[in-house]
Structure 1
Amino acid sequence: MRDPLRDVSRTSLVTAALRAAETRRPDRLYDDPYAEHLAGEDGPALAAEVSAFYRHSSGVPRITAFNAIRTRFFDDRLLARTRAGAGQVVICAAGMDTRAYRLGWPPGVRVFEVDYPEVLAAKEHVLARLGAAPRCAGHHLVGADLAEPGWGDRLLAAGYDPGGPSAWILEGLLYYLDEVDVRALLRRVRALTAPGATMTANVAAASTLRAPSLQPLLGVFRGWGAPWVFGVDDPAALWAEYGFRADVVLPGQAGAHFGRWSDADEAASRTVRLLFVDGTRV
């Protein structure tokens, strides 16, 4: 039988493999019991290929530390927003994300996952085999290409209410879109949200895409057909263009450290700037 994960993007499998490795740590920042299965046979090898470029001497922050912090940062933001009344969570480019299954959601929360239909189907195949069940009140899979204009209509057809409180995440996505597509995506999110909605994402600074220390790693992603093409040095200003007041948080700062960001990571991040952007629609 063909493994459905064979057709999933390599970046999704890398993320799953890193989350599986974090889950095995006694001091783990989160628990993702499904990640090892979702990483498949290819994920660990792909993660090792990427991790080879994250050495303290390379001037690049460790991918293991960054991924662990990023995952926990997004987890904390989503749980805080839903506990405060956001009844809808939208995960853009969900990939192998299992938050619908692993987080302790407040009553009534509905989670919408948007990604290519084949990606969502592959993940659901594995989770069904494991007997996993969502922990949210409603779990909706929206098969769509976020670079195409019709994805918002599919989200609405799945039952999303644009007038209701919502929390959106764009995790590990914006690197791979060109600026035209990034702006189209942000414009569409604004059209699909009401004041008070939140949108949290991670981005690279534009200067980071030119950093010499990062070029070998970016070459790996290009070879996988997933080049990093978008960066922004002032993401708060970009969010503001689409009606979101945003805070920008760097790994290692308060709320994004968790004891994992080393002095070497901090030094590397002065050149390789990977940013968390946490915005609220005004």
Structure 2
Amino acid sequence: MTSTPDALDAVERTALLTAALRAAETAREDRLYTDPYAAQLVGAVGPGLLSEVRAATFPAASARSVPSTPDYNAIRTRFFDDFLQREASAADRPQIVLAPAGMDSRAYRLDWPAHTRYFEVDRPAVLAFKKKRLHDAEPRVDHRTVAVDLTSPDWEEALIAAGYAPDAPSVWLLEGLLYYIAQDDAHRILERVAAVMAPGSRIAADIVNDSALTLPGMRPLLDVFAGWGCPWVFGTDEPETLFDAHGYKVRAVQPGDPEADYGRWPDPVPPRGETGVRRVFFVHGTRS
């Protein structure tokens, strides 16, 4: 199997965009985190993807109408960094699962309790590309990769074979996933994840609302992702209801809310009752 950017499909290549955004954030003096591995993980196409997103986000001839992607990504990364580290510090949650893992380097750049087992689930091409780019970098945790597609019928078995214990508490992060998959698939994944989580386990994810998929002002950014072959196809104005249907008790916060701001969100935060506005949610909570 090759591990060049050409081996990655459209959705897989968005992981290189995330790496490029994290490398750019690391170069800022006011950075919200430091990712010394991001520049290695960008690949040959990552900078071009970032340039397209920047052009759509900050158009030269008009005012910005879409969310500030660099600020959003920085806040999202820091928010989930804090979530994972906080939950890993609980002695009764020894397992972390990133699904999909993409070009994430938290296993390498953050310190983890000695008891933690850290699983990265993603497609074989993504993990092969990542392994080649990281060379001999050493993770700071008991790190295990699971090369399987989350839509496959047996990813749970592959995860368990890698050492995951469904009857032990765990912490799951579904980052940059749900808006790329159809509604039925989103429900199916949440159901399958819940089935391998012990009660009291924790989960976090990000998701957009319905209006973020349809508002004319979002079109410049939506067209970029659609042009790459990975359109945003699912959103919800009620993320709590979505997760509740599968046995989770969650809270949803928006970038710019006090716990998800870090002094970087540039736009007003619309009240939840306001309709016809774009939103992004950071969902986090517990498996009931």
- State TM-score, norm by structure 1: 0.94
Q: Any idea what the Cα deviations from partners look like across 1:205-234, whole Å, max 9, x if unmatched?
A: 012111111122111111111111111110
Q: Determine the C-alpha separation between the residues in 1 that align with 2:184 and 2:265.
A: 33
| 2:87 alignment partner, one of 81, 85, 96 | 81
**1:279 Cα shift?**
1.7
Determine if contact 1:236/1:246 at 8 Å carries over to the other structure.
yes
* Counterpart position of 2:199: 195
Of 213-222 and 198-207, deviating more is 213-222
1:113 maps to a residue whose letter is E
* Counterpart position of 1:29: 32
Of 16-25 and 36-45, deviating more is 36-45
2:124 maps to a residue whose letter is P
Determine if contact 1:61/1:266 at 8 Å carries over to the other structure.
no
Structure 1 vs Structure 2 CA RMSD: 1.6
| 2:144 alignment partner, one of 140, 144, 169 | 140
Q: Determine the C-alpha separation between the residues in 1 that align with 2:172 and 2:233.
A: 22
Q: Determine the C-alpha separation between the residues in 2 that align with 1:219 and 1:208.
A: 12
* Counterpart position of 1:4: 4
Which consecutive residues of structure 1, in runs of 5 or more, have no partner in the other structure?
Answer: none
* Counterpart position of 2:177: 173
Determine if contact 2:16/2:43 at 8 Å carries over to the other structure.
yes
Q: Any idea what the Cα deviations from partners look like across 1:112-152, whole Å, max 9, x if unmatched?
A: 01110111011011112xx310001x111111111122111
Gap change, CA 1:265 and 1:65, over 3 Å in 2: farther
Other structure's SS at 1:19 match: helix
Other structure's SS at 2:63 match: helix
Determine if contact 1:239/1:279 at 8 Å carries over to the other structure.
no
Q: Any idea what the Cα deviations from partners look like across 1:227-265, whole Å, max 9, x if unmatched?
A: 111111101011111111000000011221011012x46
Determine if contact 1:60/1:213 at 8 Å carries over to the other structure.
yes
**1:170 Cα shift?**
0.4
Determine if contact 2:94/2:116 at 8 Å carries over to the other structure.
yes
1:114 maps to a residue whose letter is V
2:17 maps to a residue whose letter is V
**1:3 Cα shift?**
6.3
Gap change, CA 1:3 and 1:241, over 3 Å in 2: closer
* Counterpart position of 1:60: 66
Determine if contact 1:69/1:260 at 8 Å carries over to the other structure.
yes
- State TM-score, norm by structure 2: 0.92
Runs (4+) of structure 1 exceeding 4 A deviation are none
Determine if contact 1:176/1:228 at 8 Å carries over to the other structure.
yes
2:139 maps to a residue whose letter is P
* Counterpart position of 2:256: 252
| 1:91 alignment partner, one of 98, 105, 112 | 98
Residue 17 in structure 1 maps to residue 20 in structure 2: yes
Q: Any idea what the Cα deviations from partners look like across 1:44-78, whole Å, max 9, x if unmatched?
A: 12111012122382321100000000000000000
* Counterpart position of 2:163: 159
Gap change, CA 1:3 and 1:117, over 3 Å in 2: closer
| 2:240 alignment partner, one of 236, 241, 244 | 236
2:250 maps to a residue whose letter is A
**1:25 Cα shift?**
1.1
Q: Any idea what the Cα deviations from partners look like across 1:75-115, whole Å, max 9, x if unmatched?
A: 00000000012210000011101111111111111110111
* Counterpart position of 1:212: 216
Gap change, CA 1:203 and 1:259, over 3 Å in 2: same
| 2:130 alignment partner, one of 114, 119, 123 | 123
Residue 272 in structure 1 maps to residue 278 in structure 2: yes
> What is the number of equivalent residue pairs in this alignment?
276
* Counterpart position of 1:50: 53
Determine if contact 1:201/1:278 at 8 Å carries over to the other structure.
yes
Q: Determine the C-alpha separation between the residues in 1 that align with 2:217 and 2:268.
A: 13
Other structure's SS at 2:259 match: coil
- Seq. identity, %: 49
Gap change, CA 1:3 and 1:188, over 3 Å in 2: closer
Which consecutive residues of structure 2, in runs of 5 or more, have no partner in the other structure?
Answer: none
